[in-house]
Amino acid sequence: MTDSLTNALSRLSEAASALKMPDKSDALTLLASRDERILEVVLSASHFRKKYFANKVKLNYLVNLKSGFCPEDCSYCSQAKHSEADILRYPFIDTELLIKEVERGIANGAARICLVASGRGPTERDVNRISEMVREVKANHPTIEICTSLGLLEDSHAQQLKSAGVFAYNHNLNTSSEYYSKICTTHTYQDREDTVKKAKNSGLSPCSGALFGMGESDIDIVNLAEGLYTAEPESVPVNFLLPFEGTPLSGFAALTPSRCLSILSLMRFYFPDKEIRAGAGRETHLRSLQALSLYVVNSIFVGDYLTSTGQPGENDMEMIRDAGFMPVTPDGAESTSGRIPQSVKVESRKRGPGARIV
Ligand code: SF4
């Protein structure tokens, strides 16, 4: 027996096989599917994850170079100008600390280091400083991929970063053009699109994704996916709102684990052969279904996020290995990090019946 979801998944798979943009109504049918059908959705999307990435998982490590003090008003962001969130706020870290952080990321299995700085966009001085930092990192770790995420970009800045050894530039479209003014008034969707284009035109690998769970509708999600498709990113981070206390979206809870899996699966149909990364909010919103996301995405962050704590790197490695996936080094070879332990320790029960303290 076939029904609307089965038919939609079949057409979404046909479009993905031909690397074509999915039909809007099929995308909406997927998003409207009920939680009890989530395994069918994940299974359909997983074919493309397997086809293009086998069982490989790329790990990425975030370094927040400069935190807080941003003049922009993105309502979802704990670093925005009106944010009263209890986060670490600091000016640019120095190169010595950056190198330590990079080494921590590499020790956790990272193949890509993402250098992020809060702000509307980098100044000339910022770009000079970051270019120097990147040269230093590359001199010590020539194979590590460096991505920078510094806000709205000038063409000359993009070229300078590229010459310094930056591989990718991240700038997320975040939400649909129609919904954008609801989440930010100090810059526009168009500004964001322009920056992705500038990064791409300068030879930087465009990394652009989204943030979900901010009150956007299903049609916003589909319009955003289409906007990203047009922007042609090579990697697509998919973040889920972390509603910090002290921000306008404080405590906002619009996501369930199944909803997150539906969104990730949808993105796989739009980007069957691209790196899709489960980003911020993975632990909070996917919760006990985190491992299922690995059947759809081929990339995750390891360690902490910009202003929130991530789960310990060993738990990520355990999840990856337990689910039959394999972390990879920057050149795609199997990473030796987090091998499954050869011995198991059992802890005997010391509480409850028979114990002195019941
Ligand atoms: S521009 Fe970036 S750092 Fe600034 S408020 Fe928006 S998301 Fe946060």
pLDDT band, very low/low/confident/very high, at 2 (cuts 50, 70, 90): low
C-alpha 257 – ligand 1 centre gap (Å)? 26
Tell me how far the alpha carbon of residue 73 lies from the centroid of ligand 1, in angstroms. Answer: 7
The per-residue pLDDT for range 137-176, each reduced to its tens digit, is 999 999 999 999 999 999 999 999 999 999 999 999 999 9
Confidence of residue 333 (pLDDT cuts 50, 70, 90): confident
> Which tokens is 230 given?
């047009």
Rounded distance from Cα 35 to ligand 1 centre (Å): 33
pLDDT mean over 33-58: 97
- At residue 340, the pLDDT reads 65
Q: Which atom of ligand 1 is nearest the CA belonging to 118? A: 3
Cβ 222 under 6 angstroms from ligand 1: no
Q: Is 211 in the pocket of ligand 1 (CB under 6 A)?
A: no
Angle at 334 between CA 162 and CA 258, to 5 degrees: 85
Q: Is the pLDDT of residue 356 over 90?
A: no
CB 249 within 8 A of CB 76: yes
**For domain 20-328, which CATH number applies: 3.40.50.10860, 3.30.465.10, 3.20.20.70, 3.30.1380.10?**
3.20.20.70
Distance 181 CA to ligand 1 centre (A): 14
Instruction: Establish whether residue 166 lines the binding site of ligand 1, counting it when its CB lies within 6 angstroms of any ligand atom.
Output: no
Per residue in 184-235, pLDDT tens?
Answer: 999 999 999 999 999 999 999 999 999 999 999 999 999 999 999 999 999 9
The residue to mutate among 67, 72, 171, having the most atoms of ligand 1 within 8 angstroms of its beta carbon, is: 72
